[in-house]
Protein backbone atom coordinates (compact mmCIF):
# COMPACT_ATOMS: atom_id res chain seq x y z
CA UNK A 1 0.00 0.00 0.00
CA UNK A 2 1.41 3.38 -1.01
CA UNK A 3 1.81 6.61 0.97
CA UNK A 4 3.21 10.00 0.00
CA UNK A 5 6.98 10.20 0.18
CA UNK A 6 6.97 13.24 2.50
CA UNK A 7 4.72 11.36 4.94
CA UNK A 8 7.13 8.41 4.99
CA UNK A 9 10.04 10.76 5.70
CA UNK A 10 8.10 12.34 8.58
CA UNK A 11 7.19 8.92 10.00
CA UNK A 12 10.87 7.93 9.84
CA UNK A 13 11.69 10.90 12.08
CA UNK A 14 13.94 12.73 9.58
CA UNK A 15 11.89 15.92 9.47
CA UNK A 16 8.39 17.35 9.51
CA UNK A 17 6.20 16.83 6.45
CA UNK A 18 6.70 20.45 5.34
CA UNK A 19 10.49 20.17 5.69
CA UNK A 20 10.37 16.82 3.88
CA UNK A 21 8.89 18.57 0.85
CA UNK A 22 11.91 20.87 0.80
CA UNK A 23 14.29 17.90 1.04
CA UNK A 24 12.56 16.26 -1.93
CA UNK A 25 12.74 19.40 -4.09
CA UNK A 26 16.44 19.75 -3.20
CA UNK A 27 17.06 16.28 -4.66
CA UNK A 28 18.24 14.79 -1.38
CA UNK A 29 15.79 11.86 -1.43
CA UNK A 30 16.10 8.78 -3.66
CA UNK A 31 13.62 5.93 -4.21
CA UNK A 32 15.10 2.62 -5.34
CA UNK A 33 18.30 4.40 -6.31
CA UNK A 34 16.59 7.13 -8.37
CA UNK A 35 16.59 10.73 -7.14
CA UNK A 36 13.08 12.09 -6.72
CA UNK A 37 12.26 15.81 -6.90
CA UNK A 38 8.54 15.72 -7.68
CA UNK A 39 6.12 16.35 -4.84
CA UNK A 40 3.24 13.90 -4.68
CA UNK A 41 5.46 10.87 -5.32
CA UNK A 42 4.15 7.80 -3.53
CA UNK A 43 6.11 4.88 -2.13
CA UNK A 44 5.38 1.49 -0.59
CA UNK A 45 7.26 1.32 2.73
CA UNK A 46 7.21 -2.48 2.61
CA UNK A 47 8.87 -2.86 -0.80
CA UNK A 48 10.56 0.41 -1.85
CA UNK A 49 14.07 1.40 -0.75
CA UNK A 50 14.26 5.05 0.30
CA UNK A 51 17.50 6.91 1.01
CA UNK A 52 18.36 10.38 2.36
CA UNK A 53 21.70 11.92 1.39
CA UNK A 54 22.83 8.44 0.32
CA UNK A 55 21.84 6.75 3.59
CA UNK A 56 19.05 4.17 3.72
CA UNK A 57 15.99 5.30 5.61
CA UNK A 58 14.25 2.79 7.83
CA UNK A 59 10.89 3.80 9.22
CA UNK A 60 11.06 3.17 12.95
CA UNK A 61 7.27 3.04 13.22
CA UNK A 62 6.34 -0.49 14.37
CA UNK A 63 3.69 -2.46 12.57
CA UNK A 64 0.44 -2.72 14.47
CA UNK A 65 -2.79 -4.59 13.72
CA UNK A 66 -6.15 -3.87 15.32
CA UNK A 67 -9.27 -5.96 15.68
CA UNK A 68 -12.23 -3.63 15.17
CA UNK A 69 -15.97 -4.06 15.68
CA UNK A 70 -17.16 -2.22 12.59
CA UNK A 71 -20.55 -0.57 13.18
CA UNK A 72 -23.24 -0.67 10.51
CA UNK A 73 -23.40 2.56 8.52
CA UNK A 74 -19.65 3.05 8.05
CA UNK A 75 -17.71 2.22 4.89
CA UNK A 76 -14.25 0.64 4.59
CA UNK A 77 -12.94 3.05 1.95
CA UNK A 78 -10.11 5.45 2.74
CA UNK A 79 -12.13 8.18 1.02
CA UNK A 80 -15.09 9.79 2.79
CA UNK A 81 -16.79 10.81 -0.47
CA UNK A 82 -19.45 8.12 -0.06
CA UNK A 83 -19.91 8.43 3.68
CA UNK A 84 -18.17 8.19 7.04
CA UNK A 85 -15.32 5.67 7.05
CA UNK A 86 -14.09 3.22 9.65
CA UNK A 87 -10.84 5.19 9.87
CA UNK A 88 -12.72 8.04 11.53
CA UNK A 89 -12.92 5.78 14.60
CA UNK A 90 -9.15 6.06 15.09
CA UNK A 91 -7.41 9.18 16.51
CA UNK A 92 -6.97 11.87 13.85
CA UNK A 93 -3.63 12.80 15.44
CA UNK A 94 -2.18 9.36 14.66
CA UNK A 95 0.57 9.24 12.03
CA UNK A 96 -0.37 5.65 11.25
CA UNK A 97 -1.45 4.94 7.67
CA UNK A 98 -4.11 2.29 8.20
CA UNK A 99 -5.53 -0.31 5.81
CA UNK A 100 -8.48 -2.65 6.26
CA UNK A 101 -7.91 -6.35 5.69
CA UNK A 102 -10.79 -7.15 3.37
CA UNK A 103 -14.08 -5.30 3.73
CA UNK A 104 -17.58 -5.36 5.14
CA UNK A 105 -20.25 -3.46 3.23
CA UNK A 106 -21.90 -0.35 4.62
CA UNK A 107 -24.91 -2.18 6.06
CA UNK A 108 -22.91 -4.97 7.73
CA UNK A 109 -21.13 -4.95 11.06
CA UNK A 110 -18.67 -7.06 13.01
CA UNK A 111 -15.06 -8.21 13.03
CA UNK A 112 -12.63 -6.34 10.80
CA UNK A 113 -8.83 -6.31 10.91
CA UNK A 114 -7.08 -2.97 10.43
CA UNK A 115 -3.29 -2.62 10.09
CA UNK A 116 -0.61 -0.06 9.19
CA UNK A 117 1.30 -2.66 7.18
CA UNK A 118 0.22 -2.66 3.54
CA UNK A 119 2.16 -5.84 2.96
CA UNK A 120 0.46 -7.59 5.86
CA UNK A 121 -2.97 -6.40 4.71
CA UNK A 122 -2.31 -7.90 1.28
CA UNK A 123 -1.01 -11.18 2.71
CA UNK A 124 -3.88 -11.65 5.17
CA UNK A 125 -6.43 -11.09 2.41
CA UNK A 126 -4.66 -13.48 0.01
CA UNK A 127 -6.74 -16.56 -0.99
CA UNK A 128 -3.90 -18.97 -0.15
CA UNK A 129 -4.68 -18.64 3.57
CA UNK A 130 -8.29 -19.72 2.92
CA UNK A 131 -9.64 -18.32 6.18
CA UNK A 132 -13.19 -19.29 7.06
CA UNK A 133 -15.41 -16.35 7.95
CA UNK A 134 -18.32 -16.79 10.34
CA UNK A 135 -21.44 -14.60 10.31
CA UNK A 136 -24.64 -14.33 12.31
CA UNK A 137 -27.42 -13.31 9.92
CA UNK A 138 -30.97 -12.41 10.89
CA UNK A 139 -33.56 -12.68 8.12
CA UNK A 140 -37.29 -12.05 7.95
CA UNK A 141 -39.64 -15.00 8.18
CA UNK A 142 -39.07 -18.70 8.70
CA UNK A 143 -36.32 -20.49 6.76
CA UNK A 144 -37.46 -23.82 5.33
CA UNK A 145 -35.36 -26.97 4.99
CA UNK A 146 -35.33 -26.48 1.22
CA UNK A 147 -34.07 -22.91 1.57
CA UNK A 148 -31.44 -24.07 4.05
CA UNK A 149 -30.23 -26.72 1.61
CA UNK A 150 -29.90 -24.20 -1.23
CA UNK A 151 -28.04 -21.73 0.98
CA UNK A 152 -25.43 -24.43 1.59
CA UNK A 153 -24.98 -25.24 -2.11
CA UNK A 154 -22.47 -23.58 -4.49
CA UNK A 155 -23.81 -20.85 -6.77
CA UNK A 156 -22.67 -18.56 -9.54
CA UNK A 157 -22.13 -14.94 -8.49
CA UNK A 158 -21.21 -12.48 -11.21
CA UNK A 159 -19.74 -15.22 -13.36
CA UNK A 160 -17.78 -16.90 -10.55
CA UNK A 161 -18.73 -20.23 -8.99
CA UNK A 162 -18.50 -20.04 -5.22
CA UNK A 163 -17.72 -22.84 -2.83
CA UNK A 164 -20.56 -24.11 -0.70
CA UNK A 165 -21.14 -22.80 2.81
CA UNK A 166 -21.96 -24.21 6.22
CA UNK A 167 -25.36 -22.86 7.25
CA UNK A 168 -27.41 -23.69 10.33
CA UNK A 169 -30.44 -22.22 12.06
CA UNK A 170 -29.55 -21.09 15.58
CA UNK A 171 -32.73 -19.23 16.53
CA UNK A 172 -36.28 -18.68 15.28
CA UNK A 173 -38.77 -16.14 16.56
CA UNK A 174 -42.52 -16.13 15.92
CA UNK A 175 -43.50 -12.51 16.60
CA UNK A 176 -42.20 -10.86 14.54
CA UNK A 177 -41.23 -13.84 12.39
CA UNK A 178 -37.44 -13.91 12.05
CA UNK A 179 -34.72 -16.53 11.73
CA UNK A 180 -31.13 -16.23 12.91
CA UNK A 181 -28.60 -18.14 10.80
CA UNK A 182 -24.97 -19.04 11.46
CA UNK A 183 -23.14 -18.97 8.10
CA UNK A 184 -19.51 -20.03 7.60
CA UNK A 185 -17.91 -19.08 4.28
CA UNK A 186 -14.66 -20.36 2.83
CA UNK A 187 -14.20 -17.28 0.68
CA UNK A 188 -15.18 -13.64 0.80
CA UNK A 189 -16.87 -12.73 -2.48
CA UNK A 190 -18.35 -9.23 -2.58
CA UNK A 191 -21.74 -9.25 -0.77
CA UNK A 192 -21.80 -13.04 -1.06
CA UNK A 193 -24.27 -13.62 1.79
CA UNK A 194 -26.63 -10.98 0.41
CA UNK A 195 -26.57 -12.76 -2.96
CA UNK A 196 -27.21 -16.11 -1.27
CA UNK A 197 -30.20 -14.82 0.68
CA UNK A 198 -31.64 -12.98 -2.33
CA UNK A 199 -31.66 -16.30 -4.20
CA UNK A 200 -33.93 -17.73 -1.52
CA UNK A 201 -36.15 -14.64 -1.17
CA UNK A 202 -34.79 -13.92 2.31
CA UNK A 203 -34.56 -10.27 3.32
CA UNK A 204 -31.64 -9.58 5.66
CA UNK A 205 -32.32 -7.51 8.77
CA UNK A 206 -28.86 -7.81 10.33
CA UNK A 207 -25.53 -9.20 9.11
CA UNK A 208 -22.67 -9.48 11.61
CA UNK A 209 -19.26 -11.12 11.16
CA UNK A 210 -18.20 -12.75 14.41
CA UNK A 211 -15.06 -14.70 13.44
CA UNK A 212 -12.22 -14.78 10.90
CA UNK A 213 -10.55 -18.18 11.11
CA UNK A 214 -9.84 -18.69 14.81
CA UNK A 215 -10.05 -14.98 15.66
CA UNK A 216 -13.23 -14.04 17.50
CA UNK A 217 -14.90 -10.64 17.89
CA UNK A 218 -15.49 -11.39 21.55
CA UNK A 219 -17.17 -8.71 23.62
CA UNK A 220 -16.00 -5.67 21.65
CA UNK A 221 -18.80 -3.13 21.30
CA UNK A 222 -19.56 -1.46 17.94
CA UNK A 223 -16.92 1.17 17.19
CA UNK A 224 -14.43 -0.27 19.71
CA UNK A 225 -11.04 -1.75 18.79
CA UNK A 226 -7.96 -3.27 20.40
CA UNK A 227 -4.46 -4.21 19.33
CA UNK A 228 -4.09 -7.77 18.10
CA UNK A 229 -1.72 -9.84 20.22
CA UNK A 230 1.29 -11.50 18.61
CA UNK A 231 -0.10 -14.99 19.16
CA UNK A 232 -3.42 -13.92 17.61
CA UNK A 233 -1.60 -12.53 14.58
CA UNK A 234 0.07 -15.91 14.05
CA UNK A 235 -3.38 -17.52 13.90
CA UNK A 236 -4.24 -15.40 10.86
CA UNK A 237 -1.40 -17.02 8.91
CA UNK A 238 -2.78 -20.55 9.24
CA UNK A 239 -4.98 -22.24 6.64
CA UNK A 240 -8.31 -23.16 8.20
CA UNK A 241 -10.43 -24.10 5.17
CA UNK A 242 -13.48 -26.32 5.69
CA UNK A 243 -13.28 -30.05 4.97
CA UNK A 244 -14.95 -31.09 1.73
CA UNK A 245 -18.59 -32.10 2.24
CA UNK A 246 -21.44 -32.71 -0.22
CA UNK A 247 -22.72 -29.17 0.45
CA UNK A 248 -19.48 -27.33 -0.22
CA UNK A 249 -17.88 -29.33 -3.03
CA UNK A 250 -17.91 -27.45 -6.33
CA UNK A 251 -20.36 -28.68 -8.94
CA UNK A 252 -20.77 -27.98 -12.63
CA UNK A 253 -21.82 -24.32 -13.18
CA UNK A 254 -25.10 -25.33 -14.81
CA UNK A 255 -26.11 -27.13 -11.63
CA UNK A 256 -25.39 -24.19 -9.35
CA UNK A 257 -27.62 -21.31 -8.42
CA UNK A 258 -26.99 -18.07 -10.30
CA UNK A 259 -26.94 -14.57 -8.85
CA UNK A 260 -26.60 -11.40 -10.91
CA UNK A 261 -26.99 -8.53 -8.45
CA UNK A 262 -24.90 -5.60 -9.60
CA UNK A 263 -24.83 -2.86 -6.99
CA UNK A 264 -24.95 -2.23 -3.22
CA UNK A 265 -28.45 -2.22 -1.78
CA UNK A 266 -30.31 -2.77 1.45
CA UNK A 267 -32.16 -6.07 1.21
CA UNK A 268 -34.90 -4.59 3.37
CA UNK A 269 -36.01 -2.99 0.07
CA UNK A 270 -36.02 -6.31 -1.80
CA UNK A 271 -39.32 -7.20 -3.45
CA UNK A 272 -39.78 -10.70 -4.83
CA UNK A 273 -41.71 -11.48 -8.00
CA UNK A 274 -43.36 -14.89 -8.53
CA UNK A 275 -41.67 -17.48 -10.71
CA UNK A 276 -42.44 -17.47 -14.42
CA UNK A 277 -43.90 -20.61 -15.96
CA UNK A 278 -43.23 -19.77 -19.62
CA UNK A 279 -41.18 -21.79 -22.09
CA UNK A 280 -38.12 -19.57 -22.01
CA UNK A 281 -34.95 -21.55 -21.06
CA UNK A 282 -34.60 -19.33 -18.00
CA UNK A 283 -38.24 -19.56 -16.97
CA UNK A 284 -37.24 -21.53 -13.88
CA UNK A 285 -35.02 -18.73 -12.60
CA UNK A 286 -36.19 -16.58 -9.73
CA UNK A 287 -36.82 -12.93 -10.48
CA UNK A 288 -36.06 -10.21 -7.97
CA UNK A 289 -36.77 -6.52 -8.14
CA UNK A 290 -34.19 -4.13 -6.72
CA UNK A 291 -34.72 -0.42 -6.16
CA UNK A 292 -34.48 1.26 -9.58
CA UNK A 293 -33.69 -2.00 -11.38
CA UNK A 294 -35.32 -5.27 -12.40
CA UNK A 295 -33.04 -8.28 -12.62
CA UNK A 296 -33.36 -12.01 -13.24
CA UNK A 297 -31.01 -14.53 -11.77
CA UNK A 298 -30.05 -16.76 -14.66
CA UNK A 299 -31.24 -14.26 -17.29
CA UNK A 300 -30.58 -10.79 -18.67
CA UNK A 301 -31.29 -7.52 -16.90
CA UNK A 302 -34.89 -6.48 -17.51
CA UNK A 303 -34.77 -2.70 -17.21
CA UNK A 304 -32.42 -0.01 -15.92
User: Whole-number mean pLDDT of the chain?
Assistant: 78
Catalytic residue among 44, 48, 53, 105: 105
Three-state DSSP at 7 gives helix
pLDDT at 286: 41
pLDDT at 149: 95
Task: Encode pLDDT of 28-45 as tens digits.
Answer: 999 999 999 998 899 988
Domain regions of the chain by residue span:
3-56, 65-235, 255-296
- 279 Cβ partners below 8 Å, 6+ apart? none
Contact 39, 1 (CB under 8 A): no
Q: Tell me how far apart the alpha carbons of residues 150 and 153 are, in angstroms, rounded to a whole number.
A: 5
Sheet of 155-157: strand order equals 160-161, 155-157, 257-259
Expressed in angstroms, the distance from the first to the final Cα of the chain is 36
Count CB-CB contacts under 10 A for residue 81.
Answer: 7
Q: Which residues of 189-226 are buried (b: 16+ CB within 10 A; e: fewer)?
A: bebbbbbbbbbbbbbbebbbbbbbbebebeeeeeeebe
Report, as an integer, the average pLDDT of 109-136: 81
pLDDT for 60 beyond 70: no
3-state helix, strand, coil in the chain (%, to 5): 20, 30, 50
pLDDT for 201 beyond 80: yes
Report, as an integer, the average pLDDT of 173-198: 92
Select from 3.40.50.300, 3.10.290.10, 3.10.20.30, 3.60.15.10 the CATH code of 3-56: 3.10.290.10
pLDDT at 252: 36
C-alpha R_g of the chain: 23
Task: Encode pLDDT of 89-119 as tens digits.
Answer: 998 756 677 888 889 999 999 999 998 876 6
pLDDT at 14: 78
Q: Rounded to the nearest 10 degrees, what angle do helices 145-152 and 192-199 cross at?
A: 140
Report, as an integer, the average pLDDT of 129-139: 90
Fold agreement between 3-56 and 65-235 = no
Which residue would you say has higher pLDDT here, 67 or 130?
A: 67
Q: What percentage of the chain exceeds 90 in pLDDT?
A: 43
Select from 2.30.140.10, 3.30.420.40, 3.30.2350.10, 3.40.190.290 the CATH code of 65-235: 3.30.2350.10
Confidence of residue 57 (pLDDT cuts 50, 70, 90): confident
Which residue would you say has higher pLDDT here, 129 or 217?
A: 217
Report, as an integer, the average pLDDT of 148-154: 95
pLDDT for 293 beyond 50: no
pLDDT at 139: 98
For the question of residue 105 being annotated catalytic, the response is yes
pLDDT for 51 beyond 70: yes
Which residue would you say has higher pLDDT here, 270 or 49?
A: 49
Report, as an integer, the average pLDDT of 232-256: 56
How does DSSP assign 99-151, residue by residue? EEES---TT-EEEEEEES-HHHHHHHHSGGG---EEEEEEEESPPPHHHHHHH
* Nearest partner of 38 among 52, 50, 23, 19, judged by Cα: 23
Confidence of residue 133 (pLDDT cuts 50, 70, 90): very high
- 9 Cβ partners below 8 Å, 6+ apart? 15, 17, 20, 23, 24, 29, 50, 52, 57
Q: Tell me how far apart the alpha carbons of residues 302 and 304 are, in angstroms, rounded to a whole number.
A: 7
Which residue would you say has higher pLDDT here, 283 or 149?
A: 149
Amino acid sequence: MSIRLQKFIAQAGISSRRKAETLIMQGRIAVNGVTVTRLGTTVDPDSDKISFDGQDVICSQPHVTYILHKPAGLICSASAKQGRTIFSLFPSTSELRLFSVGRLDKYSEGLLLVTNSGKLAHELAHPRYRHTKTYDVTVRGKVSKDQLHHLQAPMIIEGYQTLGAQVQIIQQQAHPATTKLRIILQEGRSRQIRHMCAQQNLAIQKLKRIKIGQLSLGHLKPGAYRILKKEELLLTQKNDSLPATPSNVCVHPTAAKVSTLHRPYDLADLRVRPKSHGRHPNAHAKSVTLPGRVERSGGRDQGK
